[in-house]
Amino acid sequence: MKSARTAAIIFALTLSYATFRYHVFGSSDWSWFAFWTTNKALSWTATALIALAYLIQDKEEARRLGLFGFSLTAWHCLVSLVLLGPGYYAKLHSGSSLTGPALASLLLGGVAYVAFCFPAWASRPGLKEKLGVGRWLTWQRLGYAGLGLTAAHCLAIGLPGWLTPAKWPGMLPPITLMGFLTALLPAFRLVRRRI
């Protein structure tokens, strides 16, 4: 299946990037690889797949990619909640409490996931006919809102690190920045259509 191969390739690329940035050039402990590093790659892969679903012309392939991305988003949410403590995410904590930007990022990420639920549900076979084309399109377009919220999620949590490129391990930008740019790709297409 083409969509599964696309998802596997993107995940391999994002996982390689995360491995080099955080372990090879960075100082993250290799014991974190299985969940912490993989979760970063999954989040970026999920964003890329959903963005790609809004960029390609093949509707069936777009549906599959979007659903793959939605599934990985759910996994990212679950793993992130498990890893949320200060041991893995010290920068997100002030003492034992989450910082304001961390709370904002969690809220934005949660609302983004809810927004993605609508196009995912509407992608089920036969729903286009049951909902009617207009309503179905509205539900599908909520994915754009989800991508915008994903970009805001990345911005809230990652902006301080984006402003210090001299500290980037291996001169590789943070995955939050890469995810931010990836989430905005379909928006650039919309803007170009209206110009």
Chunk the chain into consecutive blocks of 10 residues (it has 195) and report each block's average pLDDT, rounded to whole numbers: 90 98 96 95 98 93 96 96 88 88 95 97 88 91 96 96 96 98 87 55
Which element (helix H / strand E) includes 86?
A: none
Residue 96: its pLDDT value, please?
A: 80
Q: State the total domains in the chain.
A: 1
HSE-up of 41 (CA within 13 Å, CB side)?
23
Q: Cα 16 vs. chain centroid, distance in angstroms? A: 16
Residue 116 sits in which domain range? 2-194
User: What radius of gyration do the chain's Cα atoms show?
Assistant: 17
Residue 89 sits at φ, ψ, to 5 deg, of -125, 65
Residue 85: its pLDDT value, please?
A: 86
Q: Cα 79 vs. chain centroid, distance in angstroms? A: 13
State the Cα–Cα distance between residues 156 and 135, nearest whole angstrom. 32
Residue 195: its pLDDT value, please?
A: 43
Which token pair is 27? Answer: 């100082």
Nearest alpha carbon to residue 114 among 153, 84, 60: 153
Count the residues in the chain.
195
